[in-house]
Amino acid sequence: MTLTIPVAVGDPVSAGPDRGRGPALLLVGLFLLAVAGLAAVHLTQGTAAVQADDLFRLVLGQGTDADALVVISSRWPRLAAAITVGIALGAGGSVLQGLARNPLASPDTLAVEAGAHLALVAAAVFSVSLPILGGVGIAFFGGLAAAAVLLAITRGGGSPLRLVLAGTVLAMGLSSVTSSLMILNTQETRGLFAWGSGSLNQRGLDGVVQVLPVVAAGLAVALVLHRNLDLLALGEDVARSLGVRVGANRLALAASAVLLTAAAVTVAGPIGFVGLCAPAIVGLLAPRVPPLLRHAWRIPVSAIAGVLVVLASDVGLRMLFGPLEGVEVPTGVVTTVFGGIFLAVAAHRLSPGGAGPREMVRIGMGWGRRHPAVVIAAGAALVVAAGTVALLLGDSLLLLGDIGNWIGQHASRRVGFILDARAPRVASALLAGAALALAGTLVQSVTRNALADPGILGVSSGAGLGAVVALTVVTDASWLVVSAGAAAGALAVAGLLFALTLRGGLNETRVVLVGIGLAAATSAITSAILVRSDPWNQAKAVTWLGGSTYGANWPHLVPLVVVLLLAVVVLRGTHAELDLLQVDDDTPRLLGTDTARARMVVLGVAVLLTGAATASIGVLAFVGLVAPHAARLLVGTSHRRLLPLTALLGALLVVAADTVGRTVLAPSQLPAGLVTALVGAPYFLWLLTRVRTR
Judge whether 10 lies within some domain.
no
Quick one: CA dihedral 35, 25, 224, 158, positive or negative?
positive
Provide the CA 62 distance to its chain's centre, in angstroms.
48
Do 272 and 379 lie in one domain? The reply is no
pLDDT of residue 68: 65
Q: List, run by run, the mean pLDDT of 10-residue segments along the chain (694 residues).
A: 41 54 88 91 73 64 64 79 94 90 84 90 79 86 88 67 76 80 69 74 85 94 91 79 84 92 90 88 88 91 94 86 72 82 68 41 51 86 92 82 82 83 89 92 79 78 84 73 82 82 64 81 81 61 69 81 90 75 64 67 84 81 84 83 91 89 75 78 73 46
Please give the span between the terminal C-alpha atoms of the chain, in angstroms, as a whole number.
10
Judge whether 2 lies within some domain.
no
Coil, strand, or helix at residue 333? helix
Q: Which domain range does residue 73 map to?
A: 21-348
Do 427 and 564 lie in one domain? The reply is yes
Cβ-based neighbour number of residue 322 at 10 Å: 12
Cβ pair 275, 106 in contact under 8 A: yes
Indicate the number of domains in the chain.
Answer: 2
Judge whether 421 lies within some domain.
yes
Cβ pair 219, 260 in contact under 8 A: yes
Residue type at 512 in one-letter notation: V
Do 343 and 375 lie in one domain? The reply is no
Do 558 and 652 lie in one domain? The reply is yes
pLDDT of residue 5: 40
Do 72 and 217 lie in one domain? The reply is yes
Give which of 281, 310, 323 is closest to 298, Cα–Cα. Answer: 281
Coil, strand, or helix at residue 3? strand
Cβ pair 198, 257 in contact under 8 A: no
Cβ pair 613, 435 in contact under 8 A: yes
Judge whether 612 lies within some domain.
yes
pLDDT of residue 63: 63
Do 548 and 480 lie in one domain? The reply is yes
Coil, strand, or helix at residue 67? helix
Do 342 and 373 lie in one domain? The reply is no
Judge whether 583 lies within some domain.
yes
Judge whether 615 lies within some domain.
yes
pLDDT of residue 351: 47
Do 485 and 633 lie in one domain? The reply is yes
Cβ-based neighbour number of residue 683 at 10 Å: 16
pLDDT of residue 516: 81
> Which alpha helices (H) appear in 591-690, and where do they start and end?
595-617, 623-635, 639-663, 672-690
Provide the CA 89 distance to its chain's centre, in angstroms.
18
Do 561 and 443 lie in one domain? The reply is yes
CA distance 207 to 191: 17
pLDDT of residue 337: 82
Do 485 and 548 lie in one domain? The reply is yes
Do 593 and 649 lie in one domain? The reply is yes
pLDDT of residue 195: 73
Give which of 198, 170, 178 is closest to 118, Cα–Cα. Answer: 178
Do 268 and 414 lie in one domain? The reply is no
CATH number at residue 142: 1.10.3470.10
| Burial class of 18 by CB neighbour count within 10 A (0 to 12, 13 to 18, 19+) | exposed
Judge whether 3 lies within some domain.
no
Judge whether 4 lies within some domain.
no
DSSP 405-467: HHHTT---HHHHHHHHHHHHHHHHHHHHHHHHHHHHHHHHHHHT-TT--TTTTTHHHHHHHHH
